[in-house]
Amino acid sequence: MNDQSKKRFFAAVVPLSLFGLAFVLLSPPAWVGALKRSLDESPALVVVDSDLSFDPSDLRGLIWLPQTALKKSLLGKVKRLLWLRPKDAEPADLLGVSPSSCRQAHGVQLCLIDSKKDKLWRLSENLRGVSAKSAGADCVSEGGAKKCAYGKENWEYLRREEHTFNGQTRNCIWSHPVAQGALTIRIPKLPAGTYVFGAGIDDSGMRDGLPAVQVKVSHPERGDQPLIEVGEKAGFRSYSLPALSRLGDLELTILVEKTGARFFCWELTRKK
């Protein structure tokens, strides 16, 4: 191949290579096409998880909402809702509603939400008998929205409340960390089952420079679980716990190096 031929060859190949690279970079990810085919078969509202990176222009022509814009009042009005999540995302509920099924494909996780088939048992609705103890005081919850005071400060109590996390409002169990030492919460005679611990810092309590809240989960059957840290990111996050095969008291130890405005709220759920 002489010099002239080489010049012609590269003059043709380089634009084609650039075109191919641009096509790869600008093409929607594989899950977009799969999602559109699924919606063609069964229409649904798509909700995109806050932790999933995506280009909104790829979803042009679809009916979708970012997770932060979804309101619970809408769940009961939608016949079918698909929750698009990052691959290998921990099991979680959407505004208090458990997915009826989830599957992974094309690098994402797709969960079907049916608000009329919510099968989650929630500790926030079964607080009677749960105890809370700190160095300053201890108490046993009477359930519901009744305060169980475990400290001297008026914010040191345990009860069911409604809080907002990354723009989404949900019911959860308030238990502000104490300034000195740890707060211990004991859930007596927890039945066997598979549980998910969820927690977050209320949006009004997110502050730069404050340390995360640390939570240690312990059960006589499973022992101490890996330490959970909450508050380094906005939002309400879920953590799967090992399945329990027998009755036992679950214990949570909550502590933080500096309390500040640590508006900590959590939930424990179990599928029936």
| In the chain, where the domains are located | 30-117, 120-271
For 80, other C-beta atoms within 10 Å of its C-beta total 12
Q: What is the DSSP letter of 260?
A: S
Q: The whole model's pTM is what? A: 0.65
Q: What is the DSSP letter of 257?
A: S
Q: Is 186 left (phi over 0), alpha (psi -120 to 50) or beta?
A: beta
Q: Is 177 left (phi over 0), alpha (psi -120 to 50) or beta?
A: beta
At residue 8, does pLDDT exceed 70?
A: no
Closest C-alpha to 92, from 178, 188, 195: 195
The token duo for 178 is 């104490």
Determine the topology of domain 120-271 in CATH: Jelly Rolls (2.60.120)
Cα gap 249→57, rounded to integer Å = 49
Residue scoring higher pLDDT (179 or 18) = 179
At residue 112, does pLDDT exceed 70?
A: yes
Cα gap 38→45, rounded to integer Å = 12
Cα gap 50→67, rounded to integer Å = 6
265's enclosing H/E stretch is strand 264-271
- Which pLDDT score, from 0 to 100, does residue 240 have? 86
Residue with tokens 């989830």: 102
The token duo for 137 is 């005081």
- Which pLDDT score, from 0 to 100, does residue 134 have? 94
Residue with tokens 């009677």: 128
Total residues belonging to the chain: 272
Least confident of 18-22, 169-173, 196-200, 242-246: 18-22
